Amino acid sequence: MALEFIDPELIPYMASFLFTFAVVYGLLIITGVFTDAQGKKNTNVITVIALVFAIFSILYEPYVTILYTVMPIATVILIILFFIYLVNEMRKKTKGAPLPVLGVLTLLLIVLSVTWSDIEAYLPADFASEDTLWVIGIVVVLIMFWLAWSRQSSEPRRTSNPNEPD
């Protein structure tokens, strides 16, 4: 197991909570259901809805059992789909979408690390090690830094003149 400091009995509940929260939050961000007339997404409402779904998901035992069984494969598939969406949005240079989707990818990476021992069985022998998980994590961190840097450089810089009033 990748995270030995967590109680093994809590792992299915934590993974189900994070997985459900990430998927619901990501889908609500991508679809833009809660968008106002100016096109601004209401992230507070989206977060509350995702939290409610995640809390209800851990309260229903059959859901936790079934989800934890299919979670390794579903996590890999969703990471690929959200990554494709993120790359597409970065290519378009639109505002607002990539950072929340990057957060969703981070949560899915945490779920991936929790269920890594189950995923290793599906990987070829060359990739079935924790080094692969580290490489995936480093790539996501590099994308975070690049995204933060590109956002900073794309915004116009405001130079302050001490003689001008604010």
Q: What is the pLDDT of residues 9-37, one digit of tens each?
A: 887 888 889 889 988 988 888 888 887 77
Specify the pLDDT at position 127. 61
Q: Give burial (CB, 10 Å; 0-12/13-18/19+) of 7.
A: exposed
In this predicted model, what pLDDT tens digit does every residue of 128-155 receive, in sequence order? Answer: 566 777 777 787 778 767 766 766 555 5
User: What is the rounded CA–CA span in Å between residue 11 and residue 18?
Assistant: 10
User: What is the rounded CA–CA span in Å between residue 146 and residue 135?
Assistant: 16
Which letter, b or e, does each residue of 49-62 get, where b requires 16 or more Cβ atoms within 10 Å of its Cβ? bbeebbeebbeeee
Q: Give burial (CB, 10 Å; 0-12/13-18/19+) of 17.
A: buried
Q: Where are the domains of the chain?
A: 11-151
How far is C-alpha 10 from the chain's CA centre? 21
**44 or 148, higher pLDDT:** 44
Q: Quick one: average pLDDT of 108-127?
A: 72
Specify the pLDDT at position 76. 77
54 falls in which pLDDT band (50, 70, 90)?
very high
User: What is the rounded CA–CA span in Å between residue 26 and residue 48?
Assistant: 13
**Phi/psi at 144 (5° precision):** -60, -50
Taking the model in full, what pTM does it have? Answer: 0.62
Residues in the chain, how many? 166
Specify the pLDDT at position 48. 92
**CA-wise closest residue to 34 among 47, 23, 21, 52:** 47
51 falls in which pLDDT band (50, 70, 90)?
very high
